[in-house]
Structures are given as C-alpha cells and as structure tokens.
Chains A and B, each alone.
Chain A
C-alpha cells in the first residue's frame, strides 16, 4: 500500500493541495529534534511521527513518574521508572515504523549541544526550565536552525517560531525575554500546577508549526508570539521585532557558547536552600512529611531511628537526582551540616526545587538537642 494511494497512510493529508505529494516528500526527508519528552514533547512527537517526519530525535534524561501521566500522554502506568526518551521512542516507532528515531538520554550542555543540534534541520523546545531554553535558543541562533518554541504555566501557553526569516527579518527568544527571570520568580508545573490538556494543545501547535516550516505551507508564527488561555480560550498575539541588546547577550561563536554557564547565568550565585534548626526540623517531620536525605557515607554513625530517611551519599547524589522529583519539601543532613550544604545547593539548582532545607549543625547537633 503506497503511502499516497487512497488506502495509504498519508493519503488524507496528501489530498490537501497545500501539502500534496511534494510536501509529503519534504516531511519524509526532514530531521526534527524534540528537546524534552514531557508535556509538550509527547504530543509534538506523536503528531510529527504520524505526519511522516523522516527522522525524529528525542532528548530527555528523565524517567516517567506517576505525576506525569495526566499530561504526558505517551506514557502508561507500566512505564513508571523507565527513561522517557526510550519509552517515547518505542511508542512513536510503533506509530510510524518507517520513521527513524534517535534517542538522547542525556542532559543538554554547552559541551554537547552544538554537535547534537547540528544533525537536525529543526528543533522543538519542549523543555521545562530556563537554562535549557536559553541554551537551546542560543545554539539554534549560532547554528542557524529554526526553533519552535512552546511553554506553559497553569492554564496558559506561549508558542512561537524563532530564527526563521520573514522578509529577511529573524527574531529569537532573547528578543522577547533578553535575560532569564530571577530564580524562584517563575514556577514550573510541579510548583504551579498545570491542566493536563494544555501541553497537549501547545505541543500540537508546535508540531503544526514544524510541519508548516518543513513543507512551506501557510504562515508560521515566525516573528510572532501567540498566547493561549485554556480557561477562557482567550488568544493574544504580538509582533516580535529584533531588539538591539539581543546580539550582545547571546554568544556569537561556538567557543563563546561553550564558555557560557547557563545554570549560573540563570541563577545568581547565592545559595538556594534554607537552614533548618533542629526544632523546625521536628516540626517539619510532624506537619510536612518531608523527604529526608542522609548524604553521609553509608558507614557513618549515628544512624537516627526517630524519623524516616533515605541514604544517598554525596558522591552519588548527582547521578541519582532524577529519583528525587517530589512534591514534598526536601531536608538534607550530614554529620555537622557542612557537606549537606553542597547537597542542598545541588538539589536546589539542578532540580529547580524551591523547598530544600539543610539541617543546621547536622545530625550531631540535632541529636544533642533531643
């Protein structure tokens, strides 16, 4: 069954004069990278695979959690604990066996981003944090790749197309938001909440933009920002124009890009945890059911019996960070409260977790006050 015959899988879209067999061939020859296989990435991947994109890249180092399932609709309960990028790849390969899939179960960094993005024609930003958004934006500008942007907050979404010329004019994320917001001033989905269907709508719009750019159909959102409010269906659109400051803020060469520290850039150098006294810790245990982590080496004593905790030695913390996504506050402790500062900062910075506490004086001081 040929793809474009009446019983073929693309027949219904090939019928559209705006697409046709020529457009379908362009989709088959396209290579699209989706950064983030979460709320936005799932629907984008589904519709791009269904449309016949030749090669889809999926980049995500995270694992599936129960709290993802209301909105990340490629995943089922059986997938909990598995790597999202691998599950998503299997799902979309089943959707479109003729399509190629490349899986990247890694964190995007300045050391690998240019190399990975260079292998694709178009990038979709389905990430969930500002450092990645700025990193991907700057990399796409440097590599001259179009970037389909989408982001969500509660019931609202934003969509745009960056780095795509219209009448010779190109704009990107920094023409909208030249610098990232102060840490803690913008909540992500785990802090603010989100209606499940919203990323479905925004992610599908991103897939639509990608299809239009690849096939040349219609009018894309290049140089425009579209906002959508799922609570009242309000749509607002604004025109993006190149801003003078943008070229001074973004790295202009590959080596300048590799020297950028997007994590620092997006966060000031202050600590992002709160010191917790022994008394407050006791109150937490009663009232807030925190996740308590012992970051000492496993042989260190004393081992407290008064409360529940998990052991993650500091040296292993970075590799086990993905196990820590939790809605509860996190309290870290060590012997005297010094090593746990490193742990607290690592958790707060890497996970963007707003409620990280360090047990002041460590377990030693806490025990002596009981």
Chain B
C-alpha cells in the first residue's frame, strides 16, 4: 500500500521535499515512527497530522493513496 506525504514549513525542509511517497505503513503512528527514524531532526518538533484533510491521531488507519499532511505551527506575522 502506498501513501503520499505532504510536508509544510520547516518539515518540508527537513524531509528534503514537500511531497514524497511511503509504503509499508498502515497507521499514522507508523508513518510518524518511520519519518522520525529516517529524519531524526523531526524528533522534538511539534506538528499536526491530517489524513485526507482531517486531523488524525496515531491510531488512524490509512488506505491506498491516503494523503498524510504534516503541518507545523507558524509564528510569523
């Protein structure tokens, strides 16, 4: 099963790209764990995760072609 990851703000910079694909993950929690392992700088950053445009927790299940978005807060004004 392949899902798409959309990254915003500093997370896009850390993941070296705003969009990428990932396979072999069934839940949001699994996505998070894999990303934090591949990109250790993610640890300690605060961000929300949305699946197909709805905020989701670690236990949320993914489907083929789910779009998982990682959004950090911005403070600039």
B76 touching A181, Cβ below 8 Å: no
B72 touching A186, Cβ below 8 Å: yes
Interface size class of A (residues with CB under 8 A): 35 or more
If A179-B46, A180-B46, A181-B46 touch, whether A237 touches B74 (CB-CB below 8 Å) is no
Binary contact readout B43-71 vs A (1 if CB under 8 angstroms, 0 otherwise):
01110101001110000000000000101
A38, A182, A186: the one within 8 Å of B77 (CB): A38
B46 touching A194, Cβ below 8 Å: no
Chain A hits for B6, CB < 8 A = 236
Is residue A146 within 8 Å, beta carbon to beta carbon, of the partner chain? no
If A186-B72, A239-B53 touch, whether A177 touches B48 (CB-CB below 8 Å) is yes
A188 touching B54, Cβ below 8 Å: no
What is the minimal beta-carbon distance from B2 to any residue of chain A, in angstroms? 20
What is the minimal beta-carbon distance from B45 to any residue of chain A, in angstroms? 6
A36 touching B77, Cβ below 8 Å: yes
Chain B hits for A40, CB < 8 A = 77
B55 touching A237, Cβ below 8 Å: no
Chain B hits for A127, CB < 8 A = 77
B72 touching A181, Cβ below 8 Å: yes
If A227-B8, A241-B55 touch, whether A153 touches B71 (CB-CB below 8 Å) is no
Binary contact readout A224-263 vs B (1 if CB under 8 angstroms, 0 otherwise):
0101000000101111110100000000000000000000
Among the 9-residue stretches A17-25, A113-121, A128-136, A356-364, the one with 4 or more Cβ atoms under 8 Å from chain B is A128-136
B53 touching A237, Cβ below 8 Å: yes
Is residue A41 within 8 Å, beta carbon to beta carbon, of the partner chain? yes
B18, B48, B76: the one within 8 Å of A153 (CB): B76
Chain B hits for A36, CB < 8 A = 77
Within 8 A of B (CB), among A145-196: 150-154, 156-158, 175-177, 179-182, 185-189, 192, 194
Is residue B32 within 8 Å, beta carbon to beta carbon, of the partner chain? no
Q: Give Cα distance in the complex from A127 to B73, angstroms.
A: 13
A152, A177, A227, A241: the one within 8 Å of B76 (CB): A152
Chain B hits for A236, CB < 8 A = 6, 8, 53, 69
Q: Give Cα distance in the complex from A158 to B76, angstroms.
A: 10
**Cross-chain pair count, CB within 8 angstroms:** 98
Q: Give Cα distance in the complex from A129 to B18, angstroms.
A: 25
If A153-B10, A181-B45, A185-B44 touch, whether A130 touches B55 (CB-CB below 8 Å) is no
Is residue A200 within 8 Å, beta carbon to beta carbon, of the partner chain? no
If A153-B10, A177-B46 touch, whether A133 touches B53 (CB-CB below 8 Å) is no
Chain B hits for A130, CB < 8 A = 73, 75
What is the minimal beta-carbon distance from A148 to any residue of chain B, in angstroms? 12
B69 touching A186, Cβ below 8 Å: no
Is residue B40 within 8 Å, beta carbon to beta carbon, of the partner chain? no
Chain A hits for B45, CB < 8 A = 181-182, 185
B76 touching A151, Cβ below 8 Å: yes
A186 touching B8, Cβ below 8 Å: no
A192 touching B76, Cβ below 8 Å: yes
Task: Given contact pairs A151-B75, A151-B77, A238-B54, enumerate 16 new A-B contacts (beta carbons under 8 Å).
Answer: A40-B77, A128-B77, A130-B73, A130-B75, A152-B76, A153-B9, A153-B72, A177-B73, A181-B45, A185-B45, A186-B9, A194-B76, A236-B69, A238-B50, A239-B55, A241-B55
25 contacts between A and B (CB under 8 A): A40-B77, A127-B77, A128-B76, A129-B77, A151-B74, A151-B75, A151-B77, A153-B9, A154-B9, A176-B55, A180-B73, A181-B45, A181-B73, A186-B72, A187-B10, A192-B76, A227-B71, A234-B18, A236-B6, A236-B53, A238-B53, A238-B55, A238-B69, A239-B53, A239-B54
